[in-house]
């Protein structure tokens, strides 16, 4: 395996790094206008890069030669991708918007499948993760909020509001308890 690093540069760069000797193997240089890599994920042997741009872009990258396979262009208003994750054969992109949008993207044709839209009082999806077949979005608010989203319907299942002073959520992780 390899480690992939994305950079907040214009154009955006994604480096393929050998974990054995910690040397650069190859660099992906994003197309014009795809700048500021804010998120990376992997799915089915590909790397996906999300950009802090208006509109947001997600590039599907072939890791063997670090070439661009195809690009997803987000709908109007879906700006500034801050988080990517994958689940059950789809890529999910979270945006730094109010209301929050989370797009379900087909990796085959890099087209929009469906969008989750948060209630209007929630903003800025800084983090995404998955667990037990659901998608979770973390909102950059005070206090922080975590939304549990159905990937089938792209609707809110339930949300968690953090205690007071647990502000501006930046990261989510999940750990299955199955052994």
Structural tokens at position 4 = 């992939």
The predicted structure's pLDDT at residue 6: 98
The predicted structure's pLDDT at residue 61: 98
The predicted structure's pLDDT at residue 12: 98
CA pair distance 110, 122, nearest whole angstrom? 27
- Strands in 44-133 per DSSP E: 46-51, 57-62, 67-73, 81-87, 90-95, 101-106, 111-117, 125-131
CA distances from 165 to 89, 91, 147 (A): 37, 32, 18
Is the whole-model pTM more than 0.85? yes
Query: Under a CB-based contact definition with an 8 Å cutoff, are residues 42 and 60 in contact?
Result: no
Mean pLDDT by 10 residues, the chain (179 residues): 98 98 98 97 98 98 98 98 98 96 98 96 95 97 96 98 95 84
Structural tokens at position 33 = 């206008």
The predicted structure's pLDDT at residue 120: 86
**Residues whose CB is less than 8 angstroms from the CB of residue 15 and which lie 6 or more positions away in sequence, other chains included:** 4, 5, 7, 24, 25, 26, 27, 28
């Amino acid at each position: 395996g390899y480690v992939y690093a994305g950079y907040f540069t214009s154009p955006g760069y994604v480096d393929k790094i050998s974990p054995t000797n910690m040397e650069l193997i190859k660099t992906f240089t994003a197309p014009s206008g795809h700048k500021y890599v804010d998120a990376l994920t992997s799915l089915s042997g590909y790397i996906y890069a999300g950009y802090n741009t208006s509109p947001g872009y997600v590039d599907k990258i072939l890791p063997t030669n670090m070439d661009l396979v195809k690009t997803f262009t987000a709908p109007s208003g879906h700006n500034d991708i801050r988080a990517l994750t994958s689940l059950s054969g789809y890529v999910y992109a979270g945006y730094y918007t109010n209301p929050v949008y989370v797009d379900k993207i087909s990796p085959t044709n890099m087209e929009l499948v469906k969008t989750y839209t948060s209630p209007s009082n929630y903003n800025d999806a800084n983090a995404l993760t998955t667990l037990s077949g659901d998608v979770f979005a973390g909102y950059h608010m005070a206090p922080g909020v975590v939304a549990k989203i159905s990937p089938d319907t792209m609707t809110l299942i339930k949300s968690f509001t953090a205690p007071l002073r647990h502000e501006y959520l930046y990261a989510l992780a999940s750990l299955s308890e199955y052994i």
